[in-house]
Amino acid sequence: MTLIFQGSMVALITPFKDNKIDEPSLRHLVDWQIQSGTDCIIPCGTTGEAPTISDEDHERIITIVVEQAAKRIPVLAGAGSNSTEKAIKLAKQSKKAGAEGTLQVTPYYNKPTQEGLYQHFKAIASAVDFPLVLYNVPGRTSVNLETATTLRLSKIDNIVGVKEASGRLEQVAGILAGVDSNFGVYSGEDAQNAQIYMLGGNGTISVTANVAPQLVAKVWDFFAAGDKKKALSEQEHLQALNKVMFIETNPIPVKTALALMGKCQEEFRLPLCAMNEKNKEELKRVMKDYGL
């Protein structure tokens, strides 16, 4: 079975101008990503500043991205919440806006048990007949979606994959060993993309692809073509850029980088704010090394 979502996928920033969605910049970013070899676009995730986006902005952002993508590549809409009721609402909104699926983060702050996580995702999947990708990022949510829970959830028909940002390769390997071929496992850690592909992963949902979409896509494309040596070499070449993208809290460095590239305003919604000047100089230095 061909996966709906696979390959080099970008966790897209949300460009703002005067505290409003910068629609021309957003449309340009979508076109640039597609032209650069990106296989799927994910708006309204962590990198898209989802926690400070209103429900109205959420719907508008996804509508813009879907319109601009125009079925050239799929759109996987970030729609997670620590409230199951709100996550269902956002998933329905994403489906209505025309996305091909929804990315659902583990509930943050309220620290549910593994059974609570299972019931949360099951409830969303039951309420919205729509592909759902789980998103495990314990560094932000304070809860790890354990391997056994992911495997249990993978048996639900419209739960079609997981973005693994735990940083635990043994956990990724355990998931891959236990799921069917129609369930996607995606890297959520840019530094581990090639390693996860080698384990059997089906792609990445990448921060770095915002600024270097062609380079991130090359790692996947070489791997998919069977050239593991070149995939590993390209991954190694990218590691300094991957590292600097997290020199401060994501998406501060990546959005600052795009602003330096002239692709958006250097504007965040509080409590995110402008970069420390020393870190910004380091970001510029690394970007110059990559010709960005």
CATH assignment at residue 81: 3.20.20.70
Residues 226 and 27: their CA atoms lie apart, in Å, by 33
User: Six-digit token pair at 9?
Assistant: 């996928």
The chain-wide mean pLDDT, for the chain, equals 97
Q: From the candidates 163, 218, 255, 280, give the one annotated as an active-site residue.
A: 163
Instruction: Supply the range of the domain harboring residue 126.
Output: 7-227
Predicted confidence band of residue 135 (pLDDT cuts 50, 70, 90): very high
Tell me, what's the pLDDT at 3? Answer: 87
Q: What is the mean predicted confidence (pLDDT) over 3-15?
A: 96
What percentage of the chain has pLDDT greater than the value 70?
100
Provide the pLDDT for residue 131: 97
Render pLDDT for 83-115 as a digit per residue (tens, 0 to 9): 999 999 999 999 999 999 999 999 999 999 999
pLDDT digits (tens, 9 = 90+) for 40-91: 999 999 999 999 999 999 999 999 999 999 999 999 999 999 999 999 999 9
pLDDT for position 227: 97
User: Is residue 221 situated within a structural domain?
Assistant: yes
Tell me the C-alpha distance between 35 and 159, whole Å: 29
Sequence-distant (≥ 6) Cβ neighbours of residue 228 within 8 angstroms: 198, 222
**Considering the domain boundaries, does residue 279 fall inside one?**
no
Q: Each residue of 195-215: pLDDT tens digit?
A: 999 999 999 999 999 999 999
Residue 135 among the catalytic residues: yes
Percent residues over pLDDT 90 in the chain? 99
pLDDT in tens, 139-163: 999 999 999 999 999 999 999 999 9
pLDDT of residue 102: 98
Cβ–Cβ under 8 Å, residues 62 and 27? no
Q: Does residue 234 form part of some domain?
A: no
pLDDT confidence of residue 1: 53
CA 247 vs CA 81, 264, 275, 278: distances in Å: 26, 20, 9, 11
Q: Please write the tens of the pLDDT for every residue from 236-273.
A: 999 999 999 999 999 999 999 999 999 999 999 999 99
pLDDT-derived band at 182, boundaries 50, 70, 90: very high
| Structure-token pair, residue 45 | 């995730």
**How many angstroms separate the CA atoms of 81 and 44, rounded?**
11
**Annotated catalytic residue within 71, 109, 118, 135:** 135
Return all residues near 203 (Cβ < 8 A) that are at least 6 apart. Answer: 5, 6, 7, 8, 9, 39, 40, 184, 186, 187, 197, 220
Query: What pLDDT band is residue 183 in, cutting at 50, 70 and 90?
Result: very high
Lookup: tokens for 239: 């590691």
Instruction: Report how many domains make up the chain.
Output: 1
Q: Does residue 208 belong to any structural domain of this protein? A: yes
pLDDT at 132 over 90: yes
Q: Is 92 annotated in the active site?
A: no
Its pTM stands at 0.96
Domain membership of residue 212 (yes or no) is yes
**Distance set, CA 168 to CA 26, 44, 60, 137, 237 (Å):** 33, 25, 35, 11, 22
Query: Is residue 209 included in any domain, yes or no?
Result: yes
Residue 35 lies in a domain: yes
**Is 262 domain-assigned?**
no
